[in-house]
Amino acid sequence: MTNQKPSLMLVDGMALLFRAFYATAVTGQFMINSNGTPTNGIHGFVKHLFTAVSSFKPSHLAVCWDMGSKTFRTELFSDYKGNRGEAPIELIPQFDLVKEVVASFDIPNIGLAGYEADDCIGTIANQSKDLARVSILTGDQDMLQLLDDSISVILLKKGYGNYLVHTPETFFEDKGITPRQMIDLKALMGDTSDNYPGVKGIGEKTALKLLQEFEHVEGIISNLDRLSKSNKTKIEQDLEMLHLSRLLAEIKCDVPVSCALDDASLRIEKEKAVNKLMELELRGLQRLLPIDEMFVS
Please count the other Cβ atoms lying within 10 Å of the Cβ belonging to residue 26. 8
Q: How far apart are CA 92 and CA 139, in angstroms?
A: 20
pLDDT of residue 284: 86
Residue 81 burial by Cβ neighbours in a 10 Å radius (0-12, 13-18, 19+) = middle
Strand partners, 63: 11, 109
Contacts of range 119-122, beta carbons closer than 8 Å, 24 or more positions apart: 119/251, 119/252, 119/253, 119/255, 120/64, 120/65, 120/255, 120/257, 121/10, 121/12, 121/64, 121/146, 121/251, 122/146, 122/251, 122/252, 122/253, 122/255
Q: How far apart are CA 19 and CA 118, in angstroms?
A: 16
Is a pLDDT exceeding 90 seen at residue 37?
yes
Q: How far apart are CA 156 and CA 153, in angstroms?
A: 10
Length of the chain: 297
Per cent of the chain over pLDDT 90 is 89
Query: What pLDDT, in 10s, does the model give residues 213-248?
Result: 999 999 999 999 999 999 999 999 999 999 999 999
Q: Does domain 7-174+252-296 have CATH number 3.40.50.300?
A: no
What does the mean pLDDT of the chain come to? 94
Strand partners, 296: 269
Is a pLDDT exceeding 80 seen at residue 297?
no
The SS3 call for residue 156 is: strand
Q: Does domain 177-249 have CATH number 1.10.150.20?
A: yes
pLDDT of residue 113: 96
All structural domains of the chain with their residue ranges: 7-174+252-296, 177-249
Residue 164, Ramachandran bin (φ over 0: left; ψ between -120 and 50: alpha; else beta): beta
Query: What pLDDT, in 10s, does the model give residues 158-192?
Result: 989 999 999 999 999 999 999 999 999 999 999 99
Is a pLDDT exceeding 60 seen at residue 249?
yes
Two domains, one topology: 7-174+252-296 and 177-249:
no
